Amino acid sequence: MAFEPILTRNVRKPGSETIDIYMEAGGYQGLRRALKEFTPEKLVEEVKASGLRGRGGAGFSTGMKWGFLPKTKDKPRYLCVNADESEPGTFKDRLLIEKDPHLVLEGIILSAYAIESSLAFFYIRGEFHQGCRTFEKAVQEAYAKGYLGRNILGSGFNLDIIIYRGAGAYICGEETALLESLEGKRGYPRIKPPFPAIVGLYGCPTIINNVETLANVTLIAERGAAWFASIGRPPKNTGPKLFCLSGHVKRPGVFEAPLGVPFLELLNEYAGGMKHPERPLKAAVPGGSSMKILPAAKCDVLMDFDSLAAAGTSLGSAGGFVMDTGTCIVRALHNVARFYAHESCGQCTPCREGTGWLVKILTRLERGDGRPEDVDLLAGIAGKIEGNTVCPFGEAIAWPVESYVRVFKDEFEEHARRKACPMRAAAAR
């Protein structure tokens, strides 16, 4: 059966970001139906039954996350939308925000209804100027039509939404750093527990969901949990998914496919194969730059949470990128390490100091000043960062270092032994 794109059904239409085009395609019908037919509890059950797992990176069950909210309602509850898309290789939420903001907004309204929140925050990364303008306009349109504000569609449900611009900090995509930033502070991740569902924004119960996750909630309300759960690889990897592919591919982009699509199909069919036919695939990172690298020989994998975990990597944010045989892996890892050294928030010593050490060692290896012990030193530092930080940022740098060095060990050793980058020497010939 051919897969019908549904998350991206509108994005290529002219004016796709307007409420009129969205409603012409049946938009806000799911909300209308849910407000009539579902109690909040029933909607939570529906999302649980769909099997939807968070699309931000961790892949945790969305319905279960919502279920962690306290039963008491003595404090306000908040929904925070994580639109701080910053993982290198990832640009899928940007597509939804810029091209189909109402699909996201409808999901926000539905989710706020489900968790009984009357105030939602849309935390968008500061660099997304166009996305922010588009989303602001969408919010105005939704207020004008009565999908936001007081007594939405006569249901008695109220919801306001505040758009909050980040200001350039990768770490604010981590959910507790995002909360700190929203409170007007440096984006230092919080120690968990308590989890945000119990103590979140302003000390109140808070749910943080990714943009694509919320767009999926719209689809579930529109077509039902059973429909959603029939897509992909049930029971644990259900639904449509946006996959990004960039790097050395012919047609980089965002591609929609069911969870579990083969990586090689994404690469060769969706993205048109490698950019330079004479330089075949060397390695791929399927899930964003903090996930582990796969050598070409191991790229015959299915793109879902559990298949990629079994293959020793992760789906992450599905921000995949590929490198061809002309790529120096040491240089690539130097780039990745530099990113994480720049973006480390500095709160935890292993990450703050360790990322700097990694860059220093990779710089000297690539420059031709490497030492024989450097290769083990890299892996050793990564191992000492992993598990020793407040937030998963530690893993985000440890995993690429550990995997690049393990998979391409000979390339690192050759750099140290020859005191030069062999790829650069080859290029100079």
Partner 1 sequence: MTIPVRPETDRKIDELLTRFPMKGSALLPALYVVQEEKGHVSDESMEYVASKIGVSPAFVAGVVSFYTMFHRRPVGRHHIQVCRTLPCALSGADDLMAHLKTRLGMKDGETRADGKFSLASVECLGACDRAPFLQINDREHGPVDAAKMDEILKGLE
Interface positions with partner 1 (CB under 8 A):
76, 85-91, 94, 119, 125-130, 162, 164-170, 181-187, 202, 244, 246-248, 252-254, 289, 319, 321, 323, 327, 332, 335-336, 339, 342-343, 345
Spatial separation of the C-alpha atoms in residues 374 and 265, rounded to whole Å: 37
Shortest CB 263 distance to partner 1, Å: 16
Instruction: Please say which residue, 33 or 129, places its beta carbon nearer to partner 1.
Output: 129
Shortest CB 126 distance to partner 1, Å: 5
| b/e burial code for range 36-49 (CB count within 10 A of at least 16 → b) | eebebeebbbbbbb
Shortest CB 242 distance to partner 1, Å: 12
Spatial separation of the C-alpha atoms in residues 123 and 379, rounded to whole Å: 35
Shortest CB 49 distance to partner 1, Å: 32
SS3 content of the chain, % helix, strand, coil (to 5): 45, 15, 40
Shortest CB 119 distance to partner 1, Å: 7
Spatial separation of the C-alpha atoms in residues 189 and 58, rounded to whole Å: 16
Instruction: Please say which residue, 196 or 232, places its beta carbon nearer to partner 1.
Output: 196
Instruction: Please say which residue, 166 or 316, places its beta carbon nearer to partner 1.
Output: 166
Spatial separation of the C-alpha atoms in residues 161 and 149, rounded to whole Å: 9
Spatial separation of the C-alpha atoms in residues 399 and 406, rounded to whole Å: 10
Residue 144 CA, chain-centre distance (Å), reads 31
Shortest CB 293 distance to partner 1, Å: 11
CB-neighbour burial class of residue 137 (10 A; exposed 0-12, middle 13-18, buried 19+): middle
Instruction: Please say which residue, 44 or 266, places its beta carbon nearer to partner 1.
Output: 266
User: HSE-up of 90 (CA within 13 Å, CB side)?
Assistant: 29
Instruction: Please say which residue, 67 or 295, places its beta carbon nearer to partner 1.
Output: 295
Instruction: Please say which residue, 327 or 363, places its beta carbon nearer to partner 1.
Output: 327
Instruction: Please say which residue, 42 or 185, places its beta carbon nearer to partner 1.
Output: 185
Instruction: Please say which residue, 254 or 381, places its beta carbon nearer to partner 1.
Output: 254
Spatial separation of the C-alpha atoms in residues 424 and 399, rounded to whole Å: 26
CB-neighbour burial class of residue 156 (10 A; exposed 0-12, middle 13-18, buried 19+): exposed
Strands of 78-83's sheet, edge to edge?
A: 160-165, 119-124, 78-83, 206-210
Instruction: Please say which residue, 262 or 326, places its beta carbon nearer to partner 1.
Output: 326
Which tokens in the block code for residue 387?
A: 């598990």
Shortest CB 429 distance to partner 1, Å: 19
Shortest CB 92 distance to partner 1, Å: 9
Spatial separation of the C-alpha atoms in residues 235 and 419, rounded to whole Å: 51
Shortest CB 46 distance to partner 1, Å: 29
